[in-house]
């Protein structure tokens, strides 16, 4: 999904173990994004990985986002993951 959204909040980046990353560790950070429109628009919690996780965004920032949605099954339950593939700051709302 490609969309312009507003940043609600961003957590602090932290290192996680990854066999795919050079050095065995990868930075990860969660960000809460909300669709534009009103106070009660849909919100998404997405994971930012690698270099993107070290970028800092603030509440109210308008960003262009590319989100990837994935589902997986584990023990008969279905889980959904949202990955922020790209987040680019457009402007700030104060």
Task: Place 92 in a pLDDT band, splitting at 50, 70 and 90.
Answer: low
Give the integer Cα–Cα distance in Å for 36 and 64.
11
> What mean pLDDT do residues 32-49 have?
95
Pair of tokens at residue 9: 């909040």
Burial 27-64 (b: 16+ CB within 10 A, else e): bbbbbbbbeeeeeeeeebebbbbeebbebebeeebbbe
Q: pTM of the full predicted structure? A: 0.86
């Amino acid at each position: 999904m490609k969309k312009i959204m507003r940043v609600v909040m961003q957590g602090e980046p932290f290192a996680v173990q990854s066999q795919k990353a050079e050095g065995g560790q990868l930075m990860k950070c969660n960000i809460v994004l909300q669709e534009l429109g009103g106070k009660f628009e849909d919100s998404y919690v997405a994971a930012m990985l690698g270099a993107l996780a070290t970028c800092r965004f603030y509440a109210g920032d308008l960003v262009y986002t590319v989100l990837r949605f994935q589902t997986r099954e584990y023990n008969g339950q279905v889980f959904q993951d949202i990955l922020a593939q790209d987040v680019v700051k457009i402007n700030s709302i104060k």
